[in-house]
Chain A
Amino acid sequence: MSEHQPVNILMIEDDEGHARLIEKNIRRAGISNQIHHFTDGTSALDFLFNHPEGPTHNGPALVLLDLNLPDMSGTDILAKIKEDARLRRTPVVVLTTTDDKVEIQRCYDLGCNVYITKPVNYENFADAIRQLGLFLSVIQVPEVEGLG
């Protein structure tokens, strides 16, 4: 895991609109890391575990995970990431519409690092993404310096 490699952002989100909004707000927060977007769980898992640029083989990564996916539940992906020795330290941000307490608890139990509810109130949503941007900037501090 080289310090010079930038953090890749893996966005697993089936809703194109949400994906676009998230991306826009991430960019607006001044984060320019590469974003890999997946609209289903299968291709996301394939990238995570097998892709040469994926976190298993290469550089640090951050996962933005929606729980409602067409082919599987986001919690399944979360569980797979946290069970794998190579991926366990990869931060996972769950970003979903569910604000059900049980679901949130379950995600934290599985090892999710941050849980963000997609608020319909757009200001709050943008705030949340900006906070996420802050979070991202914190974890990528070495890279920024490295790239510096």
Chain B
Amino acid sequence: MIGLQPTWLSAPLFQLKIDGRQFGRIIVGLVILGFLGLLAAGAAAGLVMALSQNRTRWVNHTYEVERHINAFRVQVERLESSRRGYLLHQDPLFQQVYADAVKIIPQELAALRRLTQDNPRQQTNITALESDVGRLEGQLSISMTDARNGLHDKAIADFISDGSVPLARSTRQLTNVMLAEETRLLKQRVADQESLFRDFYLVLVFSALWLAMVAVLSVMVILRYTRELSQSRDSLKELNDNLELAVETRTTDLRRANEEIQRFAYIVSHDLRSPLVNVLGFTAELDAAAKPIVGLIERAEAEAPQILTDEVRRAAREDVPEAIGFIRGSTQKMDRLINAILKLSREGRRNISPELLDMDDLVQGVADSLQHRLDDLGAEITIERPLPRLVTDRVAMEQIISNLVENAVKYLKPGRPGRIQIKGSQSLGRAVFEVIDNGRGIDPKDHERVFDLFRRSGAQDQPGEGIGLAHVRALAYRLGGVISCESALDEGATFRLSLPVAFMPEEMK
């Protein structure tokens, strides 16, 4: 687990570790923030557009007012110049222009009044303008009427004295004031417009910054989460690798230790047999040599009993044969034990050749081989078919089953009809076989011990060295299985063997 907490995670921002759900929430939050930013930018744009349209209308309105003021000024100039022209030369065309101007001027004034309704200053100006223009028209119309009536001189005199020039100047000045007012308004409106755009740009910049921030945050969160994911993946992988390595190392150690024990057992048992051959061989020689001596003593007994003492008689008749008997018995037992170790060690080294086994046939074969003994004992074996089929070593399986069944037959309770049941089941890739008897049972404290080499349980009234179950356990382990025992005294025993359905050789694991 070393190195799971890199230093960059200890920065304050990253002190919290993100799990999958938090990550989802954070990302959704950031996306919402991003959309809020976009929404704000959009709303600002819409608002600015609407406001700007309004401002533009007002700017246009100002231009419109200016246009009308200028048009009004043109008409006033036309009015005056057509009058002068007419005074100089009574051309009806001048009169026409004059009448035209008289007709247009009130229209322009009305338009101005309408356009500047909201502006009291302009309204006042217009009122002043109206009175000025009214007076001007009044003066002009006098000289025009005189000229039209042929009173040329009077008309000229009117022209000089009627004060139309100052009136016209006053009109011009008023319009200048009005134009100045409109220019002021225009300036103000343009400034408003500019400030609006400035605000709009501010909103845009702010939105852009906001979005950029959200984007950076999102990327950071995603990067961090991805890094955490890949880190935890890496550490998982490392753990996994280490685990495999550890398992492999231990398996190798175990196998080596096992091989060592096998070899040791083999060498020891083999080398122990050599001196045993001598002990037994020379015991037999001793026995053979004792016979003529005993014969001699018998002869002496018959022919010259006085030369014999009781000691000699006892030595020849009892002590020597007894000693030889004990030596022989013990040596033979030792040989059986050594052979058992040899057999177990050999079993451990034997090649396992897995094949598909029909356990019904195999178990039936074992039962058949014991039929004679079963008949003698009045016992019977029932096999609950079908038993699970297995892919495993036939010889090992036969030895396991026959050892278990033989044991069951061997330790039946005298006086109770023997019933031995063999059944099997299969689940999760393992097959379980049970050999159940109604025999004398095994004391629960001995349940582990019975599987040990040379250890037995209960009354020692049956032949055997305590090898069978040790052998069964060694074989079961070899096949990747386990064996256990359930029993109580006098209540029979159940031996349960659990094996993989298909044997897996070491190198394939």
Contacts and interface: CB of A to CB of B under 8 A. Distances in A.
Contact of B281 (A21, A68, A98): A21
B7 interface: no
Most buried by B among A21, A120, A121: A120
A118 B277 contact: yes
Given A121-B332, A122-B284, A21 B278 contact: yes
Contacts of B274: 15, 18, 68, 97
Interface in B120-165: none
A121 B328 CA distance: 9
A120 to B, nearest CB: 4
B282 interface: yes
Size band of the interface chain B makes with A: 10 to 19
Interface string A121-148: 1110110000000000000000000000
A24 B284 CA distance: 12
Size band of the interface chain A makes with B: 10 to 19
Given A120-B331, A120-B335, A121-B332, A97 B277 contact: yes
A18 B285 CA distance: 12
A46 interface: no
Contacts of A97: 270, 273-274, 277
Interface string A12-24: 0001011001001
A138 to B, nearest CB: 25
B26 to A, nearest CB: 70
B280 interface: yes
Contacts of A109: none
Given A97-B270, A120-B332, A18 B284 contact: no
Interface in B418-451: none
A71 interface: no
Interface string B269-299: 0100111111011111100000000000000
B264 to A, nearest CB: 16
Given A17-B277, A21-B277, A97-B277, A126 B282 contact: no
B346 A24 contact: no
A122 B346 contact: no
Contacts of B280: 120-122, 125
B277 A24 contact: no
Contacts of A121: 280, 332, 335
Interface string A97-124: 1101000000000000000001111110
A121 to B, nearest CB: 7
A21 B284 CA distance: 10
Interface of A: 15, 17-18, 21, 24, 68, 97-98, 100, 118-123, 125-126
28 contacts: A15-B277, A17-B278, A17-B282, A18-B274, A18-B277, A18-B278, A18-B281, A21-B277, A21-B282, A21-B285, A24-B285, A97-B277, A118-B273, A119-B277, A120-B273, A120-B276, A120-B277, A120-B280, A120-B332, A120-B335, A121-B280, A121-B335, A122-B280, A122-B281, A122-B283, A123-B284, A125-B280, A125-B281
